[in-house]
């Protein structure tokens, strides 16, 4: 779907009248890791168990990286409390190579646990930046016009973000000036179109004479560096990913 409004309405139709059944991956985990995880889920759970692993081997780091990944996937695929606690324990000590993988397994295991206890099928939503409490985390970039922004105007944008976003039940985690750009990390509810608080800030700033562009960058995939922001504005792909001009 190329139209953001169409996509937003489609998400709302999926959630229906039961948003409480929605589970969001809270941790910020690379999309590449997530894709690798789900591919291995299909492979591992679609085959018979070929090796026996145990908790001692996992916690003492006796398993290879691939073995640990496979074992975590097998543990996460159940609604067993002991398995959940084992994954939780391992996630607290996992090496950098396996930290995100363990967090993926922990979130999946939690999803199965909650669904089993509530006796309801849930919807598991995962993005690169994660989220919490029914809200998705977005990285937003407000862009100045060619005239640029004065220090006072930059502060005005930050102030308006902090003032207006809560009106849309959105939480501002970070609002800062990055050279010429104002970068915001915020949690926005699933039932709020992400462009609503953003456009509210832009409209208010323009009404106050702030030289702010009515276009902006928004993504829930990753936090962008200044170089990546410039690439997006120049319509250049980053990490093989193109941003929709809408």
Q: Is the same domain home to 99 and 43?
A: yes
pLDDT band at 51 (very low <50, low <70, confident <90, very high): confident
Q: Do 66 and 152 sit in the same domain of this protein? A: no
Instruction: Report the number of distinct structural domains present in the chain.
Output: 2
Structure tokens at 157: 């944008």
- Residue 158 corresponds to which tokens in the numbers above? 């930050």
User: DSSP string of the chain?
Assistant: ---HHHHHHHHHHHHTT-GGGEEE--S---HHHHHHHHHHHHHHHTS---S---HHHHHTT-S-HHHHHHHHHHHHTS--HHHHHHHHHHHTT--HHHHHHHHHHHHHHHHHHHHHHHTS--EEE--SS-EETTEEEEEEEEEE-TT---HHHHHHHHHHHHHHGGGGT-EEEEEEEETTEEEEEEEEETTS-THHHHHHHHHHHHHTT--EEEEEEEESS-PPPHHHHHHHHTT--BTTBPPP--
Q: Among 124, 142, 160, identify where a domain stops.
A: 124
Query: How far is residue 219 from each of residues 118, 140, 216, 225, measured CA to CA in Å?
Result: 32, 7, 10, 13
Give the strand pairing for 131-132 and 135-144.
antiparallel
In a domain, 53, yes or no: yes
Question: Per DSSP, what are the bridge partners of residue 176?
Answer: 183
Q: Note whether residue 116 is domain-resident.
A: yes
Pairing, β 181-189 against β 212-219 = unpaired
Question: Is residue 73 assigned to a domain?
Answer: yes
* Lowest-pLDDT range of 46-60, 83-97, 192-206, 218-232: 46-60
- Answer whether residue 78 is part of any domain: yes
Q: Looking at the structure, do residues 143 and 180 belong to the same domain, yes or no?
A: yes
Same domain, 51 and 88: yes
135 and 226 co-located in one domain:
yes
Share of the chain above pLDDT 70, in %: 84
Which residues form the domain of 137? 131-233
pLDDT band at 3 (very low <50, low <70, confident <90, very high): very low
- Is residue 139 located within the same domain as residue 182? yes
| Predicted confidence band of residue 240 (pLDDT cuts 50, 70, 90) | low
Q: Which residue has the higher pLDDT, 208 or 20?
A: 208
- How confident is the model over 154-170, as a mean pLDDT? 96
Q: Nearest to residue 174, comparing CAs of 208, 223, 134?
A: 223
Please indicate, yes or no, whether residues 136 and 207 belong to a single structural domain of this protein. Answer: yes
Of 192 and 1, the structure prediction assigns the larger pLDDT to 192
Asked whether residue 111 is domain-assigned, the answer is yes
Write out pLDDT tens, residues 163-178. 999 999 999 999 999 8
Residue 67 in domain: yes
Clarify whether residues 144 and 229 are in a common domain: yes
Question: Would you say residue 58 lies in a domain?
Answer: yes
**Residue 181 is part of a domain; what is its CATH number?**
3.30.70.1290
Answer yes or no: do 101 and 184 share one domain.
no
- Beta partners for residue 154, in sequence order: none
Residues 155 and 213 in one domain: yes
1 in any annotated domain: no
For residue 138, what are the contacts with CB-CB under 8 A and spacing of at least 6? 129, 185, 186, 187, 188, 194, 218, 219, 220
Q: Give the Cα-Cα-Cα angle 180, 183, 185 (nearest 5 degrees).
A: 175
Q: Are residues 142 and 216 in the same domain?
A: yes
The pLDDT confidence band at residue 180, using thresholds 50, 70 and 90, is confident
Asked if residue 188 and residue 147 are part of one domain, the reply reads yes
Q: What are the beta bridge partners of residue 132?
A: 135
Instruction: Judge if pTM exceeds 0.85.
Output: no
């Amino acid at each position: 779907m190329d139209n953001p409004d169409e996509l937003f309405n489609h998400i709302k139709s999926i959630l229906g009248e039961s948003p409480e059944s929605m589970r969001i991956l809270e941790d910020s985990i690379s999309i590449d890791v997530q894709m690798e995880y789900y591919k291995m889920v299909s492979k591992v759970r679609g085959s018979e168990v070929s090796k026996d692993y145990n908790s001692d081997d996992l916690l003492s780091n006796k398993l290879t990286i691939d073995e640990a990944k496979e074992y975590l996937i097998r543990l996460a695929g159940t609604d067993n409390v002991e398995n959940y606690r084992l994954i939780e324990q391992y996630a607290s000590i996992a090496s950098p190579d396996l930290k995100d993988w363990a967090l993926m397994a922990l979130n999946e295991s939690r999803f199965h646990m909650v669904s089993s206890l509530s006796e309801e099928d849930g919807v598991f939503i995962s993005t690169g930046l994660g989220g919490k409490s029914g809200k998705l985390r977005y990285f937003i970039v407000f862009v100045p016009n060619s005239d640029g922004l004065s220090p006072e105007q930059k502060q005005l944008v930050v102030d308006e973000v902090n003032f207006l976003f809560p009106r849309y039940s959105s939480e501002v985690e970070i609002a800062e000036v990055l050279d010429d750009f104002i970068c915001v990390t915020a949690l926005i509810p699933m039932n709020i179109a992400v462009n609503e608080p953003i456009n509210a800030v832009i409209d208010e700033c323009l009404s106050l004479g702030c030289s702010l562009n009515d276009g902006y960058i928004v993504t829930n995939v990753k936090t962008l560096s200044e170089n990546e922001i410039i690439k997006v504005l120049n319509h250049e792909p980053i990490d093989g990913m193109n941003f929709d001009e809408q």
